[in-house]
Amino acid sequence: MKVLKFGGTSVGSVLSILNVKKIVEAAVQEEPLVIIVSALGGVTDKLLATSALASGGDAAYESELSDIITRHLEIIDGVITQAGPRAELRNEVTGMLDELSNILKGVFLINDLSAKTSDTIVSYGERISSLILSRVIEGARLFDSRRLIKTIKQFNKHIVDFELTNQLIKQAFTPLPRVSVIPGFISSSRENGEVTNLGRGGSDYTAAILATALDASVLEIWTDVDGFMTADPRVISSAYVIDRLTFTEAMELCNFGAKVIYPPTIYPVYHKNIPIRIRNTFNPCAPGTYISKERNDTGKSMIKGISSINDTCLITVQGLGMVGVIGINYRIFKTLAKNGISVFMVSQASSENNTTFAVCNADADLSVTVLNEEFALERSQGEISDIVAEKELATVAIVGENMKRTPGIAGKLFGTLGRAGISVIACAQGASETNISFVINLRYLRKALNSIHDSFFLSEYKVLNLFIAGVGTVGGKLLEQIRIQQSMLMEQNALKLSVVGVANSKKLLLCREGLNLDGCIAELRENGEAGSPRHLCEEILKMNIFNSVFVDCTASPEIAGIYEELLKNNISVVAANKVAASSLYSNYVRLKETARQRDIKYLFETNVGAGLPIINTMNDLINSGDHILRLEAVLSGSLNFIFNTLSADIPFSRAIMMAREARYAEPDPRIDLSGKDVIRKLVILAREAGYKVEQEDVKLNIFIPEKYFEGALEDFWNNIRELDADFEAMRKRVEAEKKRIRLVAKMEKGDCQVGLQEVDRFHPFYELEGSNNIIMISTERYNDYPMIIKGYGAGDDVTAAGVFADIISIANIR
């Protein structure tokens, strides 16, 4: 035989009850069924609220009671189609509701609600729902669980007397009917027969008791979810149903917040090795979660699921007077038990000078009071400090029997939290190694759950959440490249790039679930909120989203100014912006060191050479033990384009305009012509090569008089033609000498200079075409024959591709 339990949502409407009928009719074809029924969804809470109103002398209880009566009668009218049986059931239910009404009226008149009366009142929910279901299912026989499940009172709780209960159940179900219906939750006292109940989730417990006593083949818990999830789907959209769990895993998940089944449900069936299957009344075709003693080692992750309790308070008892003293913990937990306070996690230092435990927030103040009283003498002598409560916390547990004897699980867990910038306040792990629990600040709960889910491959995809500042030329191309590659990265690399924020110089647009890349730039212009670099930083930190990457496609010093705060909050930074890496050496070092300490990334490959792998190559050389001695490079794509474009027909001023029109030069080309952009690039390379260099240390051999950089941009365009003749003369001379003009940046053992150089046809820089860049790297290993990197050094597409490559490297998929 099989035991089926249907929760409140399963019998909460006409449609759901008809679903239950179909499920039962299909299942009964295979074997006899015992059906446990909860009260209609929400009725138990409604009865408790109505009782509270009545006991407080509030006549509004009558309106609440009227709602309860109306709902039950409407359900009957919807599920019983024949007039005669419908009228008969209505009469029976009305009689029970009249009894309930009289009890509540008495409570109202005397303004008192005893525990005995409260238990009686809430019992009507299950009694009426089971009666209705027994009439809906053809041939079903209704049993009264008050006659079967007997309890005794311990610590103000009703504890099942299993010996007597099992005996009564076996007697009542001999012979076993084809379909039996029993109200869940309710029971009666062994001593006097008064109505009692099994507490929250008691219908699950009722089902387990019946399954154990009758040696059921399986216990099916029918609810409104498909089964146990890897995490709370309200927090983690990628959470999915766990197909198999052991009893131990299910118990651990239940104890730490997974509300799929009532934890005590597992104990009775575990001892009889009766499997539990969680099913969805509203999706009966779903296989659900199967719970048994057998371990399933075929999963891709060492953990099965993550559970959490957001109602957590930590109490710490500490003092040097605790060290070596026997019985301190006994006194702590004895005091808590006497006052009915439940502890769900304990952590103790090996030095024995403190014990920390977790309770719900509602018990926090009482815990502090009773423990301060218990240790009053020790506190007065200074042996134990005043006991305090730390609130606004959350407890998280990772669960899985595959963690046993597997090295590195705890290290990976705490490393993941550390990279996310989440501090662990307390932690605990039992010798069974099936659960690692820890306490964190409540405001980091969502971030912690997402980070762990992602890190332990419980998610289908690894997710990077991107904030992109600057959506013009480079940023716009980057968004387009991400849009095109998104599906391929998800399919081939299990990597999901989610753009959760975009910003321009005036507005920002954020969405935790991810923006639509087809229209996010237009939406930013139309619906973005007014913003500034400071406001953008504040909003990013407020989102507190996991695996965050800030991508800077601007040239803004103000945007570069927020890097440090982002890095300190464990947000990786990818920068096409050269400002930060070429700023004061102390700032450059501080940003790099912050990223290193936080185990995140600060990447700026595109600061030099657009998409060319220059900085990464230099880092690889240094990390492998080589030393960079000398650098020689053409680093300005715009100036190389200008000097390559000069001809008898194209004067210097026209070549500058063509570079700007082709987007190789800055909107203000004086930035390129002054050599300052090359200086910044050379400073960055010298620093990455291991040398302490400031921009002021670079010797600049300027080739355009200073006066052309003064005044407005319009003045520059009006005056720059004055140099056309000089540059034409230079061009003719070097052409006659079969040479070419290049702006060359050099670094030798930390000494840096930038200036024009005429190179002959044997020089590697001679054939450098268009806007290309080239760099020669001389090291101890590559001395006689320097390493040469050459290619496109400017352009929106290649720069965006370089930024994209840095983003991909953060995901560690290459």
Catalytic residues: 681
Tokens of 262: 């009532």
Q: What single-letter DSSP state applies at residue 456?
A: T
Beta strands in 293-373 (DSSP E): 305-318, 345-348, 354-359
Beta strands in 434-531 (DSSP E): 435-441, 462-469, 495-503, 507-510, 529-530
- Pairing mode, strands 157-160 and 462-469: unpaired
Tokens of 154: 């311990």
**Do 483 and 517 contact (CB within 8 A), yes or no?**
yes
- Pairing mode, strands 305-318 and 354-359: antiparallel
Strand order in the sheet with 2-6: 141-142, 179-183, 33-37, 2-6, 218-223, 276-280, 289-292, 244-246
In terms of C-beta density within 10 A (0-12 exposed, 13-18 middle, 19 or more buried), how is residue 36 classed? buried
CA pair distance 507, 522, nearest whole angstrom: 12
- Pairing mode, strands 739-748 and 628-634: antiparallel
Nearest in space to 694 (alpha carbons), one of 578, 583, 564:
583
For Cα atoms 210, 212, 215, give the angle at the middle one, nearest 5 degrees: 105
Query: What crossing angle do the helices spanning 328-338 and 364-374 adopt, rounded to 10°?
Result: 130
Torsions phi, psi for 295 (to 5 deg): -80, 150
CA pair distance 250, 263, nearest whole angstrom: 8
CA pair distance 419, 451, nearest whole angstrom: 9
Tokens of 438: 């820890």
CA pair distance 580, 249, nearest whole angstrom: 49
CB proximity list for 25: less than 8 A, separation 6 or greater: 137, 138
315 forms beta bridges with 357, 389
CA pair distance 629, 637, nearest whole angstrom: 24
Tokens of 60: 């509004």
In terms of C-beta density within 10 A (0-12 exposed, 13-18 middle, 19 or more buried), how is residue 284 classed? middle
Phi-psi category of 264—alpha, beta or left, where left has phi over 0 and alpha has psi -120 to 50? alpha
359 forms beta bridges with 313
